[in-house]
Amino acid sequence: MPEIIPITGDMEWLAPIRAMAGGSNAVSAEAQAVREMAANAVRFVEQSRALFGAKAEAIARLLSLANEYQAEQATLDLSSVALAERFLHALPDDFPLPEFSVEPDGVISLDWIESCHRLFSLSMNPSGRFAYAWLDGTDKGHGVARFDGRQVPRRILEGIAAIFKNGTATLRAA
């Protein structure tokens, strides 16, 4: 049997299939067929609550929020919603999951809120360059980090982890 190089993260083996399912710049009908089959494979795995439960619920909340905004004809950027879903897939599996809100420009905001003095907020800008800001007691700051659709930038993972560092969640950065 060929050698396998182990990778971190319980669900990271799904990442290449997700990448195929999530879209690429290929335009042929055959590429679309691959995309659909990959999406089916991903969906089949994600039906397992044992493998995917908490994230599935988070995505359901995200889509529910998007539906609410669409029903009220409020400003909502659909690209941002799609990016948020992809970002959730890319989060390490035992990472705290965010809350969602919509910013005035229709962009989805992901917020990790430990308290009113410790929070990390991330905007799902459609460009893939995500704006973020944090408050940690008297420490605060902001920045921009690029999401390639597959892997959450380390500085974002570290920023979120720092908010919960004294909490009870067990964290394992990718």
Which of the residues 75 through 104 are near other proteins (CB under 8 A)?
78-79, 81-83, 85, 99-104
Q: Does 65 bind other proteins (CB under 8 A)?
A: yes
Size of the site for other proteins (CB under 8 A): 75
DSSP assignments along 9-28, one per residue: STTGGGHHHHHHHH--S--S
Q: How far apart are CA 73 and CA 102, in angstroms?
A: 13
* CB closer to other proteins, 91 vs 124: 124
Are the beta carbons of 80 and 126 closer than 8 angstroms? yes
Stretch near other proteins under the rule CB under 8 A, chosen from 48-56, 136-144, 154-162, 165-173: 136-144
Q: How far apart are CA 61 and CA 65, in angstroms?
A: 6
Q: Does 74 bind other proteins (CB under 8 A)?
A: yes
Supply angle C-alpha 21, 127, 10, rounded to 5: 40
Stretch near other proteins under the rule CB under 8 A, chosen from 36-44, 46-54, 89-97, 164-172: 36-44
Q: How far is the CB of 55 from other proteins (least distance, A)?
A: 16
Q: Does 51 bind other proteins (CB under 8 A)?
A: no
Q: How far is the CB of 50 from other proteins (least distance, A)?
A: 21
Any idea what DSSP says for residue 96?
P
Q: How far is the CB of 53 from other proteins (least distance, A)?
A: 20
Q: How far apart are CA 13 and CA 16, in angstroms?
A: 7
Q: Does 30 bind other proteins (CB under 8 A)?
A: yes
Q: Does 116 bind other proteins (CB under 8 A)?
A: yes
Contacts of 85 (CB under 8 A, 6+ apart): 59, 62, 63
Binds other proteins by CB under 8 A, chosen from 45, 97, 113, 171: 113
The tally of CA atoms less than 13 A away on the side-chain side of residue 133 is 3
Phi, psi of 22 (to 5 degrees): -75, -10
Q: How far is the CB of 130 from other proteins (least distance, A)?
A: 7
Q: Does 47 bind other proteins (CB under 8 A)?
A: no
